[in-house]
Structure 1
Amino acid sequence: MATSGKLSTAEDGASASAGSAMPDVVDQVALARLYGEPLFAMPTDLYIPPDALEVFLEAFEGPLDLLLYLIRKQNFNILDIPMLSVTRQYLSYVDEIRSRNLELAAEYLLMAAMLIEIKSRMLLPPKKQAEGEEAEDPRAELVRRLLEYEQMKLAAQGLGAVPQYGRDFIKAQVFIEQALQPRFPDVDMSELQDAWRDILKRAKLVQTHKITREELSVREYMSAILKRLQGRRFVEFEDIFEPEKGSTVLVVTFIALLELAKETLIEITQAEAFAPIYVRLSYTPV
């Protein structure tokens, strides 16, 4: 296939620059291919944003985490912290993050001020203490906070190592085809008792009371009392009544007794207080 032999001036310049970039060895392995063309050298005019190549090797959760990292990484004794070395490394890290995230650097700056204060207090002569007492170490409060933080951090790591549902394992689920006939769960004896008590409670709420009219004659019961008293000297008050016949009969009997006493046909006597009550006829029958 024939190709055109005419090239523009721009194409001539590009061909010339490409030719000058080509190495002397023709069979050199290309670094990459750009639009199908081999690339034997990195371009010098390629712009890459500075933030694109940043790599954060360590991520800290706060100033105490950073301090603890610096101390443990260099095997410093946490009870005897070399403040000069630790403060210098800490400030270099703070300067690095200040240029990128001022809001994040605020809490780190507060700790930096604390470190500088501790270092300055260590340069001053110690305060006079009472005899037998050691001078207070300016690093004591910082050491206490670091030890407490390390303890909580190790505990959190221990909890994080415990297998968690959804992260380290999932619950196995197996589908089992059931029979078409439903199988109802077994009923416990206590559940039956509770159901029976519930039924009794509802029955008490809907129970009915039937009232019937029973005609009783006071005169008939007056005659019955007189017949019972005939031929007897006296009868105890309780023996006049018949509880087995119901409360209605008791009431009528009591009214009949009162009517007989009103008409002076009987006498109701008592020898003394709290003594038995007796009933007798007030006349002598013929």
Structure 2
Amino acid sequence: MGEAIQAANDAASLSADAVPSDAPGDAAAEAAAVTTEIAAHARLYGEPLLKLPTDLYIPPDALEIFLDAFEGPLDLLLYLIRKQNFNILDIPMAQLTLQYLKYVEQIRLSNLELAAEYLLMAAMLIEIKSRMLLPQRQADLDVEADDPRADLVRRLLEYEQIKLAAYDLNALPQVERDFVRTQIFIEQSLIPTWPQVEAIDLQQAWLDVMKRAKLTQHHKISREELSVREHMTAILRRLQSSRFVEFADLFEVGGGVPVVVVNFVALLELAKETLIEITQAEPFAPIYVRLAYSPA
């Protein structure tokens, strides 16, 4: 370590001697900074550390090898195949198994529970490799035998499809990750809320109003103004144009009971004042009314 520092100091002195005496001060400062960076073992709070502390202790497990994180054995196999540009339909099992076992050996030393799942896949790879190395019998040559790698290839292709689909879904914008929803508070009274009214609702409301109107309606009784004098005058005018008028013909039945009653009272008043005569030839014969006889 001391020899390295001495060599760096010698290099710094040589580089300082190489700078001309008439060179600007910036060039000399830059050369000194480069020399300091070369001689520094590390940086502590941004400052170069030129000498190691005497009480520095580095534990044995301080330096670790950080491997790429994979989702599982299939993810590791797919990574190795794509990295080496292997044809996934014609996988060289020998090279793939060797690279896979190197990775499993590294994780087995640090995490035995995690390595168990990878060891299961390693056993499967070794089995496939062994089946490919076995000589084929004559009967197998006549009939095309299944490729031992077929099941592994199918699983790898399905996993790759799912992984790509997951990557596409992850690329979509997500709330609280890529953007934040804005929240605007508006006074409720400022927003008019109109009811959703249909034509059938309006019709039903109208029918309800009509039903209530019929239940609460009142019968109004009005007093009809009937004059006995007017009816007396009307009877006299009618008798002047006719010599005899039958009693029933003097009543207007269409006017109602009040009109008939007033007309009968007017007829009695005329008879009382001897302005008319009411005669009957025999019992149950028609009754006739005429003006009272007055001598000339």
1:62 aligns to what? 72
2:288 aligns to what? none
1:185 aligns to what? 193
| Contact 1:94–1:109 (8 Å) recurs in 2 | yes
- Residues 53-74 of structure 1, C-alpha deviation per residue, up to 9 Å, x if partnerless? 3353411000000011011000
TM-score, structure 2 as length reference: 0.50
Residue 165 (structure 2) pairs with residue 117 (structure 1): no
| Contact 1:163–1:169 (8 Å) recurs in 2 | yes
1:169 aligns to what? 179
Matches of 1:65 and 1:51, distance apart in 2? 28
Seen in structure 2, the aligned counterparts of structure 1 residues 174 and 139 have a Cα distance that, compared at 3 Å, is same
1:49 aligns to what? 59
Seen in structure 2, the aligned counterparts of structure 1 residues 73 and 20 have a Cα distance that, compared at 3 Å, is closer
Seen in structure 2, the aligned counterparts of structure 1 residues 46 and 82 have a Cα distance that, compared at 3 Å, is farther
Matches of 1:76 and 1:185, distance apart in 2? 66
Task: Give the drift of 1:99.
Answer: 0.7
- Residues 34-82 of structure 1, C-alpha deviation per residue, up to 9 Å, x if partnerless? 89x9842345863333544335341100000001101100001111111
Seen in structure 2, the aligned counterparts of structure 1 residues 185 and 144 have a Cα distance that, compared at 3 Å, is same
Residue 131 (structure 2) pairs with residue 148 (structure 1): no
Q: Which residue of the other structure, out of 163, 169, 188, is the alignment partner of 1:159? A: 169
The residue correspondences of 1:29-44 to structure 2 (distance < 5 A) are 29=36, 31=40, 39-43=49-53
Task: Give the drift of 1:134.
Answer: 1.8
Seen in structure 2, the aligned counterparts of structure 1 residues 71 and 21 have a Cα distance that, compared at 3 Å, is closer
The residue correspondences of 1:215-254 to structure 2 (distance < 5 A) are none
| Contact 1:71–1:78 (8 Å) recurs in 2 | yes
Higher helix share: 2
The residue correspondences of 1:269-280 to structure 2 (distance < 5 A) are none
Task: Give the drift of 1:167.
Answer: 1.0
Seen in structure 2, the aligned counterparts of structure 1 residues 163 and 131 have a Cα distance that, compared at 3 Å, is same
| Contact 1:98–1:105 (8 Å) recurs in 2 | yes
Q: Which runs of 5+ in 2 are unaligned?
A: 14-31, 212-296
Seen in structure 2, the aligned counterparts of structure 1 residues 89 and 175 have a Cα distance that, compared at 3 Å, is same
- Residues 101-160 of structure 1, C-alpha deviation per residue, up to 9 Å, x if partnerless? 111011101000001111111111125557864222111111111111111111111111
| Contact 1:129–1:135 (8 Å) recurs in 2 | no
Secondary structure of the 2:201 match is helix
Percent identity over the alignment is 63
1:76 aligns to what? 86
